[in-house]
Amino acid sequence: MTKGKVAIMSNQQESSFAAKEKLTTLLKAADYTIDQNDPEIIISIGGDGTFLSAFHMFDHKLNHVRFLGVHTGHLGFYTDWRDFELEELVSNLSNDEHPPVSYPLLDVQVKDRYQTQPQRFLALNEATIKRATRTMVADVYIKDEIFERFRGDGLSVSTPTGSTAYNKSVGGAVLHPRINAFQLAEIASLNNRVFRTLGSPIIISDSEWLTVHLEESSDYLVTIDRFTIQHDEIEWLSFKIADERVHFASYRHMHFWHRVKDAFIGEI
Ligand code: NAP
Ligand code: MN
């Protein structure tokens, strides 16, 4: 009797290939089927970046799959298992006693001049909008009400688990992933007597949404996690907490703040 279908996604590191090979053998011995196309469980081997790629490969069927991350480098935010713990990982998977864990995602819509319908994306870390050559001028709306007129390099909108990634580099707050909310952070805003933005990151609840209307539409880069979308004629973008969530298999409980300390502070 087969236990379930597992896909394994790894990065190009030698140690990740080795872990993939070993894990494949262990999973088969435990009656799992390796199915790279239609899995129930997706195991990523590498770093957080590898996990992001694995996530996007299956982001159209999030209600039917569970993810698990093995790290071959430093401890990650989406990767719980080390590559020397693969036996334990497989036996944990077989009698999964871990409480179900899922994290919020960001629903991103991008509307350009030519399409009648906006394009929809899901972000696990964040979405950013940046202007490459000139100042980005945009009206920021919260729940369809104008909040501020932004001038600067761009804006970052992140999930709680993405708050430790790009968001943190641009001065955003680190948000515990049990908080079902998303965050807007400014990237180099222009502030003087004429141009005013709030100047600090804001955290937006799951019952609210954010819309960014661009004054001019050329020269914009939109990023969704690892991916960049080049769009010449963007009119607006909107952001809210998605209905979908990312679900984990055999999630190793680790105190979120411990993970943050481990990643950014180390021993004191
Ligand atoms: P990358 O340039 O290899 O990643 C940048 C670093 O961010 C890597 O060390 C990566 O960890 C780490 N990272 C990814 N997600 C994280 C998270 N949720 N919390 C804490 N650290 C995280 O690119 P990548 O591996 O494809 O990752 C894409 C992400 O990188 C983007 O979503 C963005 O958040 C972030 N990024 C940050 C900056 C910046 O801080 N200035 C610039 C570009 C992109 P691993 O080594 O484990 O992969
Ligand atoms: Mn990476």
Read out DSSP for 29-90?
Answer: HTTEEE-SSS-SEEEEEESHHHHHHHHHHTTT-TTT-EEEEEESSS--SS--EETT-HHHHH
The two structure tokens encoding residue 120? 């929809």
pLDDT confidence of residue 254: 77
pLDDT confidence of residue 230: 79
- Which atom in ligand 1 lies closest to the alpha carbon of residue 169? 40
Ligand nearest to the CA of 52: 1
Q: What is the DSSP letter of 172?
A: P
The domain 105-244 belongs to what CATH superfamily? Probable inorganic polyphosphate/atp-NAD kinase; domain 2 (2.60.200.30)
Q: Is residue 169 lining ligand 1, measured as CB closer than 6 Å?
A: yes
How far, in Å, is the centroid of ligand 2 from the Cα of 56?
A: 15
pLDDT confidence of residue 62: 97
Q: Specify the residue for token string 């991916």.
A: 227
Residue-averaged pLDDT of the chain: 94
Element (H, E) at 230: strand 227-231
Q: Is 267 annotated as a binding residue?
A: no
Domain boundaries, the chain: 4-98+250-264, 105-244
Catalytic residue among 31, 38, 48, 107: 48
Instruction: Please say if 262 is a catalytic residue.
Output: no
> What is 4-98+250-264's CATH number?
3.40.50.10330
pLDDT confidence of residue 200: 97
User: Residues 249, 214: contact at Cβ < 8 Å?
Assistant: no
159 CB neighbour count, 10 Å cutoff: 28
Give pLDDT < 50 ranges for the chain.
none
